Amino acid sequence: MYREHWGLKELPFENVPDPRFFYPSPEHQEALMRLFYAVNNRKGAAMLTGEVGCGKTILSRTLVQDLSTDRYEVGLVANPSLPPLDFLREILYQLGMESSSTSKIDLLHALNDVVVRNLNAGKDTVILIDEAQAIDDEATLEELRLLLNFQLNERFLLTLILIGQPELREKVGRIRQLDQRIAIKYHLGPLSLEETHKYILYRLEKAGLQKEIVSPEAFTLIHRLTHGIPRDINNLCDLSLLLGFSGGAREIDLQLVQKAAAAVTQS
């Protein structure tokens, strides 16, 4: 609706995990580097945590996109809140194999077959569990530990990546044998004022903007109101652009951000 008014080719602040709009802040770069390290060096397991809206999902999609399909087979489980057997079936499905078996042994054998097939084809298997804090059944968490038993004498046969909110650390910590096997851990924090500024400019540029439309005071207020949380920044900036369009504004200034913030609070 407001794209032509602001000179944009597409909407810059959509809350969808589009890797094209992944902003590589120092923290996000560090998190991505650690996950790549875990995968490339077959470390067995890695865990990324962060508050709601900090950019974990878009980071995970960027990781998946950047992993070569010639070298890696990735199974992405986006809804892990499942009973143990359904959880194993979902992993198999995401790795390209369907099974209706109700036998845990059969499902683990099928998963082992997939992993070995990939190994023989020169591929590593990566299982990425997004929103892993949603796993409520401790028996399902126990299945994650069992997956790490897929190994040869000198290497793991798959890499497990857990991504979730901070409470994931507590859940994993209750299963000591799983916690001890997670070699790489990282907690993703919010953006600083400087990085919030750069984040907004980055997304506007990616969306086709070729001029400056946000005042310095507006950047500061956006950071203060959102506490540097990317999802909240997106919501506030999107509404600011919409209200600016409807009011015929040519700049996102302090007053416009205040108006958008009031509207967000009321919604």
pTM summary value: 0.93
Q: What is the pLDDT of residues 124-175, one digit of tens each?
A: 999 999 999 999 888 899 889 889 988 887 789 999 999 999 999 999 999 9
pLDDT given at position 242:
97
Asked whether residue 197 falls in the same domain as residue 177, the answer is no
Domain hosting 238: range is: 3-9+191-266
Q: What is the pLDDT of residues 67-102, one digit of tens each?
A: 999 999 999 999 999 999 999 999 999 999 988 888
Which of 188, 215, 232 finishes a domain?
188
Confirm whether 101 is domain-assigned.
Answer: yes
Which of 162, 188, 214 finishes a domain?
188
Confirm whether 128 is domain-assigned.
Answer: yes
Asked whether residue 133 falls in the same domain as residue 54, the answer is yes
Confirm whether 20 is domain-assigned.
Answer: no
Asked whether residue 150 falls in the same domain as residue 207, the answer is no
Mean pLDDT, rounded, for 172-197: 95
pLDDT given at position 101:
84
For the beta carbon of residue 20, count every other beta carbon within 10 angstroms: 11
Higher per-residue pLDDT: 1 or 119: 119
Contact 42, 124 (CB under 8 A): yes
Residues facing 151 on adjacent strands:
156
Confirm whether 114 is domain-assigned.
Answer: yes
Q: Which amino acid is at 176?
A: R
Confirm whether 16 is domain-assigned.
Answer: no
Asked whether residue 181 falls in the same domain as residue 196, the answer is no
Asked whether residue 50 falls in the same domain as residue 173, the answer is yes
pLDDT given at position 267:
64
Confirm whether 81 is domain-assigned.
Answer: yes
Asked whether residue 55 falls in the same domain as residue 180, the answer is yes
For the beta carbon of residue 86, count every other beta carbon within 10 angstroms: 14
Contact 159, 197 (CB under 8 A): no
Asked whether residue 140 falls in the same domain as residue 210, the answer is no
pLDDT given at position 154:
75
SS3 content of the chain, % helix, strand, coil (to 5): 50, 15, 35
Q: DSSP of 214-251, one letter per residue?
A: B-HHHHHHHHHHHTT-HHHHHHHHHHHHHHHHHTT-SS
Confirm whether 207 is domain-assigned.
Answer: yes
CATH number, residue 64? 3.40.50.300
Q: Which amino acid is at 230?
A: P
What's the Rg (C-alpha) of the chain?
21
* Long-range contacts of 5-11, Cβ-Cβ distance < 8 Å, separation of 24 or more: 5/244, 5/245, 6/209, 6/213, 6/241, 6/244, 6/245, 7/208, 7/209, 7/210, 7/211, 8/204, 8/207, 8/208, 8/209, 9/207, 9/208, 10/207, 10/208, 11/207, 11/238
Mean pLDDT of the chain: 95
Residues facing 214 on adjacent strands:
252
Residues facing 124 on adjacent strands:
72
Structure tokens at 259: 């108006």
Asked whether residue 51 falls in the same domain as residue 177, the answer is yes
Pairing of strands 124-129, 158-164: parallel
Distance CA 62, CA 105 (A): 33
Q: What is the pLDDT of residues 215-267, one digit of tens each?
A: 999 999 999 999 999 999 999 999 999 999 999 999 999 999 999 999 988 76
Asked whether residue 74 falls in the same domain as residue 114, the answer is yes
Confirm whether 125 is domain-assigned.
Answer: yes
Whose tokens are 């046969």? That residue is 157
Q: How many domains does the chain have?
A: 2
Distance CA 145, CA 147 (A): 5
Q: What is the pLDDT of residues 27-38, one digit of tens each?
A: 999 999 999 999
Asked whether residue 206 falls in the same domain as residue 183, the answer is no
How many residues in total does the chain contain? 267
